[in-house]
Amino acid sequence: MTTDRSPTPEQALLEQIHSLQREDEILHNILAVDIWAIAKTMDEFHPGFWAAFMKNREQALKRFMAEVIKHPPAPPKRPPFLR
């Protein structure tokens, strides 16, 4: 005897959330490999590229953080029931 039990709406929603989380992790891993491949290639053509890139990135992050501290972003306009 076969019982054809369909998942409850909560179970279906949880499965969708888990599926999206897995897909997000896979995309993150793919992007990490792509970035590594670009950096490795650039470092072969221009030795020191990655070190210079990371130094520039650190400086840009410091400038960005200083700007955010000086001028905090405005709170998002959200409906009262979502606050």
pLDDT-based confidence at residue 79 (cuts at 50, 70, 90): confident
0.85 cut: is pTM over it? no
Structural domain spans, the chain: 9-74
Task: Give the whole-angstrom CA distance, residue 53 versus residue 64.
Answer: 16
- Rounded to whole angstroms, the Cα distance separating 40 from 47 reads 10
Distance of CA 72 to the CA centre of its chain: 22
Find the range with the poorest average confidence among 9-23, 50-64, 66-80. Answer: 66-80
**Residues 6 or more apart from 42 whose CB is under 8 A from it?**
49, 50, 53
